[in-house]
Amino acid sequence: MIGAGGMPASQWLGWTATAVFVASYFFSRAAVLRGLQMIGAALWILYGVWIGAAPVIVANVLVFTAAAWTLVRSTRRARRAAEVIGGEFSPEELGI
């Protein structure tokens, strides 16, 4: 399938995945960075399935899992800290 500009649609997917993943590093909030890394990895997984590249799929399943795990872990820690403080801060102020 050919996409815009004559480039195959699979390449558009790959370039979009690259752009999302790189864009994640421009955000200072860890939750946003991890969320975008997860979206980028999901796009890379789709790309890997599309082109039949097992190494791309496996690598990005690992990236997605690591980003999700660190996002959940940091969210839990921030919520526990908020409970200890007595709820003085909103989740946004704690970087959740």
- CA 90 to CA 55: how far, in whole Å? 41
- 3-state helix vs strand vs coil in the chain, percent to 5: 75, 0, 20
How do the pLDDT tens digits run along the chain, 96 residues long? Answer: 666 678 899 999 999 999 999 999 899 888 899 999 999 999 999 999 999 999 999 999 999 999 999 999 988 877 777 676 665 666 666 666
* Element housing 83 (H / E): helix 54-85
CA dist 7 and 61 (Å) reads: 26
